Structure 1
Amino acid sequence: MDMSVTPLAHQVTSKALTWLHAHREHGALPEYSTAQLAEPNSVYKPLGETALAASLVVREAVAGTQELRIARELLDFCWEQLGEGAMLHERLLRYPMMSDPLETYTHFARSGYRHRALERLVAHTTSLRSARAAEVLPNRRLAVANAARVAGLDRGPIPFDWDALRRETWLGSFPEPWLVDWVNAYNMTHSVFHCTDWGRLPTGLGADLSAYVGNWLPVWTDIWAEIGEWDLMAELMIVGSCLPEPHCDAGDWERLASLQHEDGLYPRDAQPVSDDPGERFSDQHHPTVVAAVAGTLALSRTLGSRP
């Protein structure tokens, strides 16, 4: 493991968290928001993504006292925005086939925030045949399975078959690596994230798939870096920190750190970044979350907090 990655990963994490904290009000829910929001991606998805990054900082506990404080403040803000879980509970009551309440809740449950009524409802809905048979992308099934696992809600009468879930994904077919495209590259990264619970379970992908990803990850990372897809490049770097033999390349980290803006924003791609505060948040929030996660997990693996 190249220890020269450690200061770069810490720098990226700290700056990204600072940006997310400074601009958190841009991700606040609109006034009079209700659980009937038709499109969560455009309204409270940023809250869930911010909570993901913050929850991993808290879980790994390697970033430093200042970063832990910021992460906790971000989690408190997001939890308060969601009515301390009440909005997610009401949303699932109204739309029992939707998985976003569980997936959002998991980031808080990982960090000790609980809503018992929501947990009872999730335990019921995740056991339903209809919910298990919903026609979604295979990596989305993995997302639900991991969310239930993290929240401790996967102990129902129908256990999740992780081997089958892995095999159903694009990655699980051991695809021709030169045929990777933008969509399947993102799907592959999320398959890895969910199988390993964002690096908590480095063996969760299985030895054969881990070896396959480890062989081709440096090539894929270089490809997306070369064409200026910085968000995807950083997601692939997260994948490297999720493997049993982590791939944390100093050159990749020097490149990522050089792309990050001084205020902590990490750009989505090589296109110009808007000067408008609202557009900056809507366009660059996700990649900045990705940078925070990438830095957190790389820092954890280089410091040896995972086997």
Structure 2
Amino acid sequence: MTAVDVREIRETGSAALAWLSARRGDFALGDDALTAEGQVNSTWKPLGELAQVCSSVRLRTPPSDPLHDRAGELLDFAWRQTGHGEMFLSLQRLEPFATYPLEVYSVFAAAGLRHPGYEAAAATVARGRGWRLTEQEPTRRLGVLRAERRSGIQRPEDPAQVLRATWLGGLAEPWAFERSAGYSLTHVVFHLTDWGRDPDGVPPDLAGYLADWLPPWLDTCLDAGLWDLGCELLVVAASLPEPPDPALLRDSWTRIAAARYDSGALPEEEPERGADGTRGPEPDFLHCYHSTLMAVFAAAVTLARLTGDGGPDGHRSGTPLRRRGGQGAAR
């Protein structure tokens, strides 16, 4: 039986979170966050992703874990960047039918950080036909519906019907897997499980499909040096009813650990090497922040699954990973 090196997973997650903490200034919202020329993908998107991962890490770690406190500090930092939610009202006025403000806001709402004024304004817009008829890919639509529920907005649209229109929900032929399908299926699982809040959120047929095909997909991605997608698939592996194979976890985390830079940052994908076989310098912030976030998220959910520790609120993490014959948690 191949044991899982819990220390390696923890060290990788801790180093990644330390890098994020050291680079928190790069997540700060600048003056362009509320301008027509502002680039959402370099302003609100990174901040929202930071908040989401830190909220999930706090959920999946006990208060005694250093990861818990550091994630909480970064979550508080992200909330302050929004003016404690006040900036969402400004976004609402600038782009009343854009969904991304609600998607980002809902991350904070799920963590208990709320702005009643924005929620009332968003609920008014959500009652309109323009909001309901916004054309979106099914995976994105699933996320918007989750954001609505997190923010107290109730509409009759059926998430189960939207789910079956996604790549994963339709049980696409497994050999059709490629990078875009990979990101689609991981985010479907994130939405179904509410980023770790609902461990029973994946329907049985999808869980069975993923149990069969996730291992070769993950191996293929790691062979190709797709570290960002590889970490997202590790989150999915830790979110299924059946615990992931220990040999798969050990091999995957050893490769992830070897791919990170000394700073703790993880590149989105393996950079080209020079003639002497060495890697170039660490990529810029926008090309490694997301993969580093995913390394933290994957480490937190994997550790929770290995130990069965569901975090500070007693949240169940699913069946702990055990040795054959039930000899206790693998180490």
Compute the TM-score of the two structures, normalised by the length of structure 1: 0.90
Aligned residue number for residue 10 of structure 2: 10
1:185 is displaced (CA, Å) by: 1.3
Aligned residue number for residue 133 of structure 1: 133
Aligned residue number for residue 184 of structure 1: 181
Verify the 8 A CA contact 1:58 1:111 in the aligned structure 2: no
Selected match of 2:300 from 280, 283, 296: 296
Structure 1 segment 264-283 matched on structure 2, within 5 A: 264-272=264-272, 275=281, 280-283=284-287
1:100-148 C-alpha deviation (Å, 9 max, x unpaired)? 1111112222222111111112223333332222111100011111222
1:233 is displaced (CA, Å) by: 1.0
Q: Does 1:285 align with 2:272?
A: no
1:35 is displaced (CA, Å) by: 5.7
Closer/same/farther in 2, CA of residues 77 and 123 from structure 1, 3 Å limit = same
Closer/same/farther in 2, CA of residues 195 and 126 from structure 1, 3 Å limit = farther
Aligned residue number for residue 52 of structure 1: 52
Structure 1 segment 125-204 matched on structure 2, within 5 A: 125-151=125-151, 153-154=152-153, 156=154, 158-204=155-201
Quote the Cα distance in structure 1 between the aligned partners of 2:255 and 2:165.
34
Verify the 8 A CA contact 2:10 2:303 in the aligned structure 1: yes
CA RMSD of aligned residues (A): 2.2
Closer/same/farther in 2, CA of residues 298 and 219 from structure 1, 3 Å limit = same
Aligned residue number for residue 314 of structure 2: none
Quote the Cα distance in structure 2 between the aligned partners of 1:271 and 1:299.
28
Aligned residue number for residue 41 of structure 2: 41
Aligned residue number for residue 99 of structure 1: 99
Closer/same/farther in 2, CA of residues 63 and 231 from structure 1, 3 Å limit = farther
Quote the Cα distance in structure 2 between the aligned partners of 1:109 and 1:44.
16
1:38 is displaced (CA, Å) by: 4.3
Verify the 8 A CA contact 2:32 2:38 in the aligned structure 1: no
Selected match of 1:213 from 210, 213, 221: 210
Structure 1 segment 216-235 matched on structure 2, within 5 A: 216-235=213-232
Quote the Cα distance in structure 2 between the aligned partners of 1:296 and 1:88.
29
Verify the 8 A CA contact 2:42 2:286 in the aligned structure 1: no
Structure 1 segment 106-121 matched on structure 2, within 5 A: 106-121=106-121
Question: Partner amino acid for 1:227?
Answer: A
1:215 is displaced (CA, Å) by: 0.7
Stretches of structure 1 that go unaligned for 5 or more consecutive residues are none
Which is richer in helix?
1
Verify the 8 A CA contact 1:186 1:232 in the aligned structure 2: yes
Verify the 8 A CA contact 1:268 1:283 in the aligned structure 2: yes
1:286 is displaced (CA, Å) by: 0.7
Quote the Cα distance in structure 1 between the aligned partners of 2:150 and 2:269.
31
Higher-Rg member (1/2): 2
Farther off after superposition, 43-52 or 57-66: 57-66
Farther off after superposition, 163-172 or 254-263: 254-263
Quote the Cα distance in structure 2 between the aligned partners of 1:53 and 1:205.
19
Closer/same/farther in 2, CA of residues 26 and 120 from structure 1, 3 Å limit = same
1:202 is displaced (CA, Å) by: 2.6
Question: Partner amino acid for 2:171?
Answer: F
Farther off after superposition, 23-32 or 231-240: 23-32
Verify the 8 A CA contact 1:214 1:243 in the aligned structure 2: yes
Q: Secondary structure at the match of 1:47?
A: helix
Structure 1 segment 55-94 matched on structure 2, within 5 A: 55-62=55-62, 64-94=64-94
Farther off after superposition, 32-41 or 167-176: 32-41
1:213 is displaced (CA, Å) by: 1.2
Identical columns (%): 36
Verify the 8 A CA contact 2:50 2:293 in the aligned structure 1: yes
Quote the Cα distance in structure 1 between the aligned partners of 2:293 and 2:78.
14
Q: Secondary structure at the match of 1:173?
A: coil
1:180-218 C-alpha deviation (Å, 9 max, x unpaired)? 121111111111110111232232121001111111000
Quote the Cα distance in structure 2 between the aligned partners of 1:149 and 1:3.
40
Verify the 8 A CA contact 2:102 2:147 in the aligned structure 1: yes
Verify the 8 A CA contact 1:12 1:257 in the aligned structure 2: yes
1:237 is displaced (CA, Å) by: 0.8
Closer/same/farther in 2, CA of residues 194 and 37 from structure 1, 3 Å limit = farther
Stretches of structure 2 that go unaligned for 5 or more consecutive residues are 273-278, 311-316, 319-331
